[in-house]
Amino acid sequence: MQIREVPVTNPHGLHARACARIVALASHFRANVCLVVAGRRASARSIVAVMMLAAAVGSTVRLEVDGPDEQAAMSALVQLFDQGLEQRA
């Protein structure tokens, strides 16, 4: 399992479209992706759960990726966060 912590930098935090990009990206991989914010976890399979994490700008998201292609999945996710979640997945 890979674990990384990434900051949320875009002004509206994990808004609906940002969540959609995370969920869409995660669906390309076989690995299970979990997001943890302030102790609350959400599976990247559920956009509603990710939205409800309510990660505002300045918060930190812990990415937990577990599965055969976890390395590729993690680097793709980290890149998405680095781009301020604006890049289309």
28 classed as catalytic: no
* Helix-helix angle 16-26:70-82, to 10 degrees: 160
Query: Cα–Cα distances in Å, from 31 out to 1, 10, 12, 85?
Result: 9, 26, 28, 20
Per CB under 8 A, does 23 bind other proteins? yes
CB of residue 53 vs other proteins: minimum separation in angstroms? 9
Size of the site for other proteins (CB under 8 A): 21
Residue 28 in tokens: 């390309």
The one catalytic residue in 2, 4, 6, 15 is 15
- Note the residues at the interface with other proteins (CB under 8 A): 12-17, 19-20, 23-24, 45-49, 51-52, 54-56, 88
